[in-house]
Amino acid sequence: MKIAIVLGTRPEIIKLAPIIKKLGPKRSTVIFTGQHYDFQMGRQFIQELELPKPNYSLKISKSTPQIQISEIINKLSKILSKEKPDSVMVQGDTNTVLAAGICSIKSNIPITHVESGLRSNDWRMPEEHNRIAIDHLSEILFAPTLNAKKNLLSESVHGKIHVTGNTAIDAISIYSKISEKKSKLSIDFEEFILFTLHRAENVDDKKILSSIINGIINSEEKIIFPIHPRTKKRLIEFNLFKKLQNNKNFGIYDSLGYFDMLELMKKCSLIVTDSGGIQEESTAPIIRKKVLVVRKTTDRPEAVDSKMAEVIGTNQKIITQKIKKSINNPSVLPRNAPYGKGLATSKIIKILTKNY
């Protein structure tokens, strides 16, 4: 069995790390597209998680999604022709995933999709286009939950569906044991809210971004804000960055490593985010933190159903109110994680071995 694992962003690296480690170099070829060209968002995580150097690293331009997708398809096709893997594995819903899927099916190589079946039913999200397309192209679909499986069945996908749990929980099970020693982050606040923001529909719209930022500021809570390069660029462009820099309640950090983020999630009192991955990670038993989701929809309804997360939208006043309520009247959170017990990797590899 030989699996070509194609990845290009921070979340893909984290969620595929347990699979890469367990498959080993004899059964896998790792191809890094460089979609996250920023070192702190891409290669840093490969090094930090002690993953082997990718067998191939594509150099794609810092351009539009259309051009990046076309470049990945062009360069990946030559690699697949040379390597001839039994299957191409992708994870999630990025442009890397879409490009690898198109390239693979046109190369007559079956696609394996990790974290399939997520749906937000929000067509504003580019991720929604990608995940729907890849699910219908895939031969084997690893759904993290029963709800994800139901989504796939309702769309009559042709591939085989397997419910495995989410590999994000596997990664936390592995790396949380060493994150305290590995983290180099120094925090000035004893109690704080962890805040992250990066989605295009939030940060590329000045009105929405201003509303979210003002909602956070008006809570008057201590905030740790690891800032995504895209978000920082927009904050500067919209004249919001200095406002945060001058606010004594904000601790702003450039993009942090995985171990630093794990420690922040462990130590914070509340998480405010638009990240799908953090909605999953927050449910892990070692973290168990309430998440306020600054989006109009979520593709992680399991976190909401379990009362671990709450979708609060992007209205300034509501964000402030929800933060104050969550801090002053914290809810009792369930102990069972809706995304599995950290056994997804073993299940996935067992199924791969049986099929290939």
Q: What are the tens digits of pLDDT across the range 112-148?
A: 999 999 999 988 888 999 999 999 999 999 999 999 9
For 185, the 3-state DSSP assignment is coil
Domain ranges of the chain: 3-166+340-355, 183-328
Residue 184: per-residue pLDDT: 86
End-to-end CA distance of the chain: 5
Amino acid at 17: A
The whole-angstrom separation of Cα 168 and Cα 188 is: 28
Q: Are 309 and 279 in contact (CB under 8 A)?
A: yes
**Mean pLDDT, all residues of the chain:** 94
- DSSP assignment, residue 283? T
Say whether pTM exceeds 0.85: yes
**Cα separation values, 299 from 121, 238, 334, Å:** 8, 28, 20
pLDDT of res. 39: 44
List, by residue number, the catalytic residues.
198
What is the C-alpha to C-alpha distance for residues 98 and 321, in angstroms, rounded to an integer? 38
Q: Where are the beta strands (DSSP E) in the chain?
A: 3-7, 28-32, 56-57, 87-91, 111-114, 140-143, 160-163, 193-195, 223-227, 250-254, 270-273, 291-293, 309-311
DSSP symbol at 251: E
Tracing tokens 């200095």 back to the chain, one arrives at 242
* Of the listed ranges 122-126, 203-207, 316-320, 344-348, the one predicted with least confidence: 122-126
The dihedral formed by the CA atoms of 350, 155, 102 and 170, expressed in degrees to the nearest 10: -30
- The CATH homologous superfamily to which domain 3-166+340-355 belongs is Glycogen Phosphorylase B; (3.40.50.2000)
Q: What is the DSSP string of 47-107?
A: HHTTPPPPSEE----S--HHHHHHHHHHHHHHHHHHH--SEEEEESSSHHHHHHHHHHHHT
Q: Does this chain's domain 3-166+340-355 share its CATH topology with 183-328? A: yes
- Of the candidates 90, 93, 84, 136, which has an alpha carbon nearest to the alpha carbon of residue 113? 90
Q: Which long-range contacts (CB under 8 A, 24 or more apart) does 184-188 make?
A: 184/260, 185/253, 185/256, 185/260, 185/263, 185/264, 187/224, 187/251, 187/264, 187/267, 188/251
Q: Could you give the 3-state DSSP secondary structure of residue 309?
A: strand
Closest CA to 163 of 282, 334, 11, 340: 340
- At the topology level of CATH, where does 183-328 sit? Rossmann fold (3.40.50)
Is the pLDDT at 38 greater than 70, yes or no?
Answer: no
What pLDDT, in 10s, does the model give residues 299-336?
A: 999 999 999 999 999 999 999 999 999 999 988 888 88
